[in-house]
Structure 1
Amino acid sequence: MGRNLVCSIFLPYTINFHLDELENKGPENLPASYEASRNRRNSVLIDNALSHLAISQKDNSPGTPVLTPQPENTSDYFGTAAVRRGGNTGSGTGSGIKTPKTSNIGTKTPLPASGRSSPVYTQPRSRAASPPSFTQPDDRFGAPGIGAKKNLIRKRRDSLIKDVALFESARWTVERGINGNNGLFSAVGAAVRDKKITNQLWVGLLGMPTESLSKKTKDAISAALLVKHQSLAVYTSDSEFEGHYNHYCRKILWPSLHYQHNEIFSFFHEENNWDAYVSVNQAFADKIIETYRSGDTIWVNDYHLLLVPGMVRKKLPNAAIGLFVHVSFPSSEVFRCFARRNELLLGMLGANLIGFQTEEYKRHFLQSCSRVLYAEATFGRILLEDRYIDVYSHPVSADPESVQANLDSEETIETIEVLKKRYENLNVFVGCDKLDPIRGIREKLLAFEQFLYDNPSYQKNTILLQTSAFTDEARQYGVEVSDIVTRINSTFGDFSLDHLPVTFLSRDLSYAQYLAVLSIADGFIVTSLREGMSLTCHEFILTQQEKKSPLIVSEFIGCSAFFREGALIVNPWSTLEMSHAMRKALEMDDASKKKRYDLCINVIRNHTASTWAAEFENRLKKSWTSQQRHDLSHIPKFTLNFVGSRYASAKKRLMFLNFDGQAVSWEGRHEFMDYHYGYIINILTRLVNDPKNVIYICSCLDRDELDSLFVNLPGLGLIAENGCYVKPHTAGDDNLQGWIRLFKKDEMTWRDSMHDIIEYYAERNQGSSLIDHGYAMEFNYVKAENKENGMRNALELCSSVNETGNTCKAIPMEGHVLIEPKNISKATAANYTLNKILHNPEDLDLVLVAGNNRTDEGTFVWANRLPIFSFTVSMRLENTDAHSYTDGVPSFFNVLNSLCE
């Protein structure tokens, strides 16, 4: 059985080095590097403290009150026992996860999406920041430049040697990681628990600097992770990781994917750190390629690794590769701002299946591929020259079983009781977010301020409890948030009653405390300006079985579509709208609360984290199997040996043949027919004269042209204008004489508006033209002076037509785009022929469909689904839904000629 290689930027595990044990051995047994390392760590702590103090003094104006007074430990605030942090003791190097009973790093304890209490581990410092400041202009990802002094390089090398010796002599243990995609970890873990996924193997970084580790230490860690934790560790240099994660991912990809494009950051960071992004992705690809075995599936996750699918595809062309993008995906107008937009999209298109959180993100990706790469994007599929990629949406969810287990824990229950007493007789709104401008904390506070202004009766009995741990990255944003909190508390607070409307906790919470805060909320507010899903909303719903308080959620979050019927959906940019939602949440009657809650909880129970992970794996396997069948290297060639015996034994045969695609082009429709006319007519005559055969020619040509071409074959059935008209094969049946129209007049109402649109594009492309075929319209750019511009306009036309949901569809073909009725095709005409014209269709035991352009693919799909044995044949050397192929039209007719003999 193949393995499931689940790739994420960080593994669910990391390493903790027990350097404190070295000190207990006595000074005489310490490595020479230990004292220097300890002094350096102490120095860093002092520098950080001084830096934080200086910034606090600088950013807070004189007389401005600080944030909510913070206890030394969050447990003091919650009135429970101290939060137990990492620093495990135990025996054995790499012996496994050592879990304190109440710590959130336990094996079975999921990490919340935000507001979590992070354990403290002893790990190497990053080597990326080693060079002094004056070497930075000549840097590449933190390495000393050409202008760096030799003694500085020597000092850095000597320091590295000391660190290697230090960590090589220390005992280490594998711990639950504090970085990474916790929603993914929880989902895969739940699917493994439920036996929906088996034989999974994690691939990722350790979430810590590794350049200071010796090869011996890395090998030992890798072995322990593989054997005991089913994980493959990927190693990169600290400088490459710095450029990849902290610069390209966090300062370029993350903001722009969430519509917060920063021109200054893009100018300085995008090109400079692109090489680092490529290097880290290549390290993942190399590890996957090295590990891959036939039958494995590869599941790549999120925006950190968008290049990995393409890199792996180059080396493993037949591998099953999936990519799921957990964050939002912007519109094509935003995505095209990336300097490396082509490389990012091509990397993603190395996958067989690409998943997104919502239909909106999926649509944006399809548009980006169409408008940036000029790729043909249909509903849920990207068509390339040699293959296609399935694209779908299925939102991530939470794991109810795991959340419930933690809700029932003693620590959570105790904390809930403490909070209930603390906030007795108060309305409590809760928010739990990372301190990031994208999370919309500022907008939430402004809306709460508006709510208090608009509703004086709630000023003394309503609070907002917001948890957001401060980070260096969002320091300036934290100052802005602090000013708003101060203003609200100064305006509406009552210090004599110890009442502050906003309680802002800027420290981490344990998972038990986090769940307890959600449980006591009278309303949970999530106002992200953009976000992929926000699993905090799911966790809130799962904690509200008793109170059933409302969820207020931004319309720009993926879960707004998930909970659309049950949540209060708001525009975070409208303080007035959010203020009204807050009041509505507090004044909602119990019946309305229960109705909304039931809608939300049922959605979660029907779409759990476990089913999401299992669904992705199943979809990936199906997509890969289907695409293997479409690959010409995996489908048989249509030959006499392939079809002969089945053809000979059939008692009644039905054939639909189209050979006018590239052979009979719009510019010279009769070139092929003029040259091979006698040969083709001879073959068709013999086929038609066989009483076992019913033959139909399917064509894009109009009725008059087909009549003139096949005037001497009265027993030949004809399908004209890509399925708009059918001329029955049956001669002598008065009810089936002449051409039958298969469309209604109201299905052609699109023609007038489409005429203007195509004319608009044609006028702006010198040499291109609009051609009216009656049943269809064509934008033709074969003779355009600027072919690239013509192709771009053609694909924009396709996107605009196919996305509007009109009664017409656009089919891109070589040199032109065909616009025709949506509900009429060669497939619908073939189906009409089978069910309405053919006598005794139940006697049919063979169907053959052959074609050589894009319009035939629907007929292939139709025939493949028939309960009758079918041959589907593609005459073009591209990926196809046909189950066999030939090397062009002449080869196909050569086989037909052999069948007639």
Structure 2
Amino acid sequence: MRKTIIISNRLPVKIAKENEEYHLKVSEGGLATGLGSIYKEGDNIWIGWAGLDVPKSDEQEIIDKLKQENLLPVFLTPKEIQNYYEGFSNETLWPIFHYMSTYAQYEQEYWDYYRLVNEKFKNVVLKIAKPGDIIWIHDYQLLLLPQMIREELPNTTIGFFQHIPFPSYELFRLIPWRAELLDGILGADLIGFHTYDDVRHFTSSATRVLPVQTTANIIHKDDRNIVIDAFPMGIDSKKFNDLTFTKEVLEEKEIYNQIIGDTKIILSIDRLDYSKGIIQRLLAFDKVLADNPQYLEKISMHMIVVPSRDTIPQYRDLRDDIDKLVGNINSRYRTSAWHPIHYFYRSFPIEILSSLYSRADICLVTPMRDGMNLVSKEYIASKTDETGVLILSEMAGASKELIEAIIVNPNNLGEMYRAIVEALEMPEEEKISRMKNLRKTVMKFDINHWVKIFMNQLEEVKEEEKSRMAKYVNQDLKHQFKEAIKASKKRVFFLDYDGTLVNFNGNPLEAKPDEELYQIINDLNSDDRNQIVIISGRKYETLGEWFGHLKVDLIAEHGAWKKFEGKDWQEEPNLSDKWKQAVMPMLESYSDRTAGSFIEEKRFSLAWHYRKVEKGLGDLRANELISNMRYLIREKDLQLLPGNKVVEIKNSQINKGKAAASYIYGKNFDFILAMGDDHTDEDIFTSLPYSATTIKVGSSISEAKFYLRSVEEARALLQHFCS
């Protein structure tokens, strides 16, 4: 029976040893809650680090205890934790992914252990995983794991979700092992991030570092299509909503009210980290007090900082800076009955957090960079009276959803200051209106919704992959095609040239037919029932020079020119090329500022080639050109064709599809085959009868019914038809 395997760095339990016996305490975190509906069912299981150093002699005891909770531990040594987790994960990846590159450490030992521990996780997975299982891997500590599992279980369904931001290419490229990391992640079928920005950054990095192609949010690699999408994570909103009505929370809230009275609370809750913007938040609050004496003794900041890695110099320094700044602000403004900042350097039970959320007038969530930031959502879910104001950093993923919050740039001290004043002065009606809308969003898109949509899409992606793989021209299909050819009496083969019969060349004129290709065409022509049509975007003069001596029909420049056996070239009637005067200057401007690109002029089309351009730059310029051309081509009745490292502009009246449909009209072919590799060939695939055998070369994303991986496979198939 198929099962689901969840894998994360840590298990959703805390394990402690007391009186020579191990005890488990289940985590109350949002992820554990959301995934509880999956891993606790049937044979499903969650794999992760046990969270402590376990002697070999005690490992089986831990395994047995965790098995009862559908959990399976990975045991790590202190040195592995030091180098894999504290080292590579948190001193290399974390600062780069949070745009703090100056803190990043690139130690070979860190990388070696990171790879070693990912292998260790893989080995535990392989002990229980079976073909057909669903595997969902979480976060930046396990970036190599998807591909490691893929190599061992190639047909397994694998999802990956990253809970922290993904950096832009300019930052990601700083990591010495960037290609290995991308290869690792791309072992998944579905890759999820919190925001569309992260999706863009990932696809950009993948296409610029690896030899992969992308179509929208799909990356094509090793004959696989990997989908990259945004899945904004929610929280267990019902739990936070309901907590506010419990006896413990109501009592705690009453104690707060007795102590602070009518003082307005500005709440700040973070783990100690340089990405959280804690110092900037304090500076903004200091400015509010300095510039607005009317707020003295009327407002106070309750700031909770949860200890984290404060033995590391950057974190220790940050903690000391926070201590000094809080002390400085309190010493300047406090009175005998009032403290401007109530600062707590420790964690609190969820009941106390709930009472603070519920009581706070303003929640200040201003990280310098954050994947999602669930504190903002916990605050909203806890505001059952529908009051309160959320001030949220635009650098947090949550800002893309929680648009009714006051959105700020945490680097802009003045903007933060004005946001706090605005929140303090906001009319009650506006507060309620904003909070109602925020609560609708948070309550609807909760953790269960997040789990559901990710798992549903993972299923859909895998089904699509299975369907797509069925399209690959394997030996069985080759046999079927050959039998259909044998049974037919009149056949036509529409063959594109570049990328189908020959590989691309930096200089298009160098991509000449070779002896093998001529032999294939001659072999096909040896059967009088076969009609070969080479249909290409090439200039008619070039096709005539290369194939005019053969028994083939030629369609050049996407259908603008036709040469049928024994006849001269014929031009499609009523076509004009006057539009070139308007288009050529724009193409020349792109060619002038893009080294390696060039313009090819044909009778009724212009092509801008960028095969020799620096990787990434060519695609960037091509996208820019396409965008700028859109209005012009509508006005001039032109068609714009993005191809393989080329952008072509031509008369809209001509395309390969019309030419192919015109060619077969009234000729009663009982076997039709079309083979092509790019966007221009899609017109052929869609215009031919449904009974036609259509084959895309180099990609499975197509209107064609079948696909081949390469020119070599295309030639081999044609040779198979001749044998």
Q: TM-score range by the shorter chain?
A: 0.7 to 0.9
1:354 aligns with 2:191: yes
1:583 Cα offset (Å): 1.6
What is the letter of the counterpart of residue 186 of structure 1?
T
**Equivalent in 761, 767, 770 of residue 598 of structure 2:** 770
Amino acid of the structure 2 residue aligned with 1:830: G
State the Cα deviation string for residues 774-802 of structure 1 (Å, max 9, x = none).
Answer: 43211243xxxxxxxx6xx1333224544
Matched, 1:189 2:33: no
Q: Contact conserved, 1:464 with 1:503, CA < 8 A, in 2?
A: yes
- Residues 343-492 of structure 1 mapped to structure 2, 5 A cutoff: 343-471=180-308, 472-473=310-311, 474-492=315-333
CA distance in structure 1 between the aligned counterparts of 2:240 and 2:651, rounded to whole angstroms:
47
SS in structure 1 opposite 2:203? Answer: helix
1:714 to 1:662, Cα distance in 2 relative to 1, 3 A:
closer
Does the residue aligned with 1:266 lie in a helix, a strand or coil? coil
Q: Distance in 2 between matches of 1:569 and 1:867?
A: 55
Question: Match for residue 552 of structure 1?
Answer: 391
Q: Which residue of 2 aligns with 1:667?
A: 509
What residue in structure 1 maps to residue 572 of structure 2?
Answer: 738
2:622 is equivalent to residue 830 of structure 1: no
Contact 1:435 1:470 in 2 (8 A): yes
Aligned counterparts of 2:573 and 2:450: Cα–Cα separation in 1: 51
Matched, 1:502 2:341: yes
Displacement, 1:705?
A: 5.2
The verdict on how the C-alpha distance between 1:184 and 1:821 changes in structure 2, with shifts beyond 3 A counting, is: farther
Q: Does the alignment pair 1:214 with 2:56?
A: yes
Indicate if the aligned counterparts of 1:742 and 1:829 stay in contact, CA closer than 8 A: no
Aligned-partner Cα distance in 1 for 2:244–2:653? 56
Q: 1:200 to 1:681 in 2, by over 3 A?
A: closer
2:424 aligned residue (583, 586, 610) = 586
Distance change in 2, residues 1:663/1:275 (3 Å):
same
Shift of the alpha carbon at 1:521? Answer: 1.7
Cα 1:259–1:810, aligned 2, differ >3 Å: closer, same or farther?
farther
Deviation, structure 1 residue 236? 2.0
**What is the alpha-carbon distance in structure 1 between the residues aligned to residue 437 and residue 689 of structure 2?**
41
Q: Which residue of 2 aligns with 1:5?
A: 5
Q: What is the alpha-carbon distance in structure 2 between the residues aligned to residue 800 and residue 316 of structure 1? A: 39
Q: C-alpha deviations, 1:580-607, integer Å up to 9, x for none? A: 1112222222343333224323333443
| Structure 1 partner of 2:96 | 256
Aligned partner letter, 2:71: S
Distance 1:867 1:874, change over 3 A: closer
How many angstroms apart in 1 are the aligned matches of 2:141 and 2:577?
49
What one-letter code is carried by the residue in structure 2 that aligns with 1:18? Answer: E
Look up the match of 1:517.
Answer: 356
Deviation at 1:630, TM superposition (A): 4.6
Q: Could you tell me how far apart the structure 2 residues matched to 1:861 and 1:559 are?
A: 43
SS of match in other structure, 2:181: helix
Distance 2:527 2:261 in 1: 88
1:642 to 480, 486, 496: 480
- SS of 2:192 mapped into structure 1: strand
Cα distance in 2 for partners of 1:593, 1:844 equals 72
SS of alignment partner, residue 578 of structure 1: helix
Q: Rate the CA distance shift 1:519–1:717 in 2: closer, same or farther, 3 A.
A: farther
- Which runs of 5 or more structure 2 residues have no equivalent in the other structure? 565-569, 630-639
SS of the aligned residue for 1:229 comes to coil
8 A Cα contact 2:163 2:194, kept in partner? yes
Indicate conservation of the 8 Å contact 1:443/1:573, yes or no: yes
Q: Is the 8 A contact 1:771 1:780 kept in 2?
A: no
Which residue does the alignment assign to 2:140?
Answer: 303
Match of 1:795 among 605, 616, 620: 616
Greater RCO, 1 or 2 (C-alpha within 8 Å, sep 6+): 1
Relative to structure 1, is the Cα distance of residues 281 and 719 closer, same or farther in structure 2, using a 3 angstrom cutoff? Answer: same
> Does the aligned pair in 1 maintain the 2:7–2:46 contact within 8 Å?
yes
| Counterparts of 1:289 and 1:663, CA distance in 2 | 42
Is this contact kept in 1: 2:657–2:683, CA < 8 A?
yes
What's the counterpart of residue 400 of structure 2? 561
1:78 corresponds to: none
Residue type at the aligned position of 2:433: K
Counterpart of 1:797, as a letter, is: G
Report the Cα distance in structure 2 between the residues aligned to 1:297 and 1:749, rounded to whole angstroms: 55
> Relative to 1, partners in 2 of residues 1:584 and 1:648: Cα closer, same or farther, differing over 3 Å?
farther
d(CA) in 2 for partners of 1:606, 1:580: 31
Aligned to 1:223: 64
* Residues 885 and 426 (structure 1), Cα distance of their counterparts in 2 relative to 1, 3 Å cut: closer
1: CA distance, partners of 2:658 / 2:588: 30
In 1, distance between residues paired with 2:230 and 2:651?
A: 25
Q: In structure 2, how many angstroms separate the alpha carbons of the residues matched to 1:594 and 1:780?
A: 57
**Structure 1 residue 850 and structure 2 residue 693: aligned?**
no
AA at the equivalent of 2:693: F
Among residues 668, 687, 693, which one is paired with 1:871 in the alignment?
693
- The answer (yes or no) to whether the contact 1:807–1:821 under 8 Å persists in 2 is no
Instruction: Tell me, in whole angstroms, the C-alpha distance in 1 between the residues paired with 2:476 and 2:248.
Output: 69
- Partners of 2:673 and 2:556 in 1: how far apart? 15
> What is the 5 A alignment of 1:687-702?
698-702=535-539
Distance 2:552 2:718 in 1: 19
Give the Cα separation in 1 of the matches to 2:681 and 2:24: 53
Aligned equivalents of 1:740, 1:567: Cα separation in 2? 59
Look up the equivalent residue of 1:624 and give its one-letter code. K
Query: What amino acid does structure 2 have at the position aligned with 1:188?
Result: L
**Residue 678 to residue 627, structure 1, CA distance change in 2 (3 Å):** closer
Alpha carbons of structure 1 residues 192 and 244: separation in structure 2 relative to 1, 3 Å: closer
TM-aligned CA deviation for residue 443 of structure 1: 0.6
CA distance in structure 1 between the partners assigned to 2:16 and 2:497 by the alignment: 67
- Give the deviation of 1:305 after TM superposition: 0.7
Q: Secondary structure at the match of 2:16?
A: strand
Structure 1 residue 202 and structure 2 residue 49: aligned? no
Per the alignment, do residues 870 and 10 of structure 1 end up closer, same or farther by CA in structure 2, a change over 3 Å counting?
farther
In 2, the alpha carbon distance for the partners of 1:343 and 1:553 equals: 35
The 1:254/1:190 distance shift into structure 2, 3 A limit, reads: same
CA contact (8 A) 1:873 1:884 kept: yes
Query: Aligned partners of 1:198, 1:800: CA distance in 2, in Å?
Result: 52
Q: 1:429–1:464: 8 Å Cα contact kept in structure 2? A: yes
Residues of 2 paired with 1:551 and 1:823: CA distance? 55
Deviation at residue 261 of structure 1 after TM alignment: 1.6
By how many angstroms is 1:390 displaced?
2.0
On the 8 A contact 1:376/1:812 being kept in 2, the answer is no
Q: Residues 850 and 589 from structure 1, CA distance in 2 versus in 1: closer, same or farther, beyond 3 angstroms? A: same
Distance (Å, rounded) in 2 between the aligned partners of 1:607 and 1:683: 65
**So what's the TM-score if we normalise by structure 1?**
0.68
- Pairing partner for 2:610 from 779, 788, 805: 779
CA distance in 2, matches of 1:376, 1:528: 34
What is the CA–CA distance in structure 2 between the aligned matches of 1:459 and 1:837, rounded to whole Å? 85
What is the identity percentage for the equivalent residue pairs of Structure 1 and Structure 2?
Answer: 26
Counterpart amino acid of 2:60?
Answer: D
Residue of structure 2 equivalent to 1:171: 21
Q: Is the 8 A contact 1:685 1:713 kept in 2?
A: no
Q: Deviations over 1:386-412 (max 9, x none)?
A: 434221122111122332333332212
1:502–1:743 CA distance, 2 compared to 1 (3 A)? farther
Residues in 2 aligned to 1:586 and 1:862: alpha-carbon distance in whole angstroms: 61
In the aligned structure 2, how far is the partner of 1:825 from the partner of 1:279? 59
Question: For the residues of structure 2 that align with 1:299 and 1:490, how far apart are their CA atoms?
Answer: 50
Does the Cα contact within 8 Å between 1:3 and 1:200 map onto a contact in 2?
A: yes
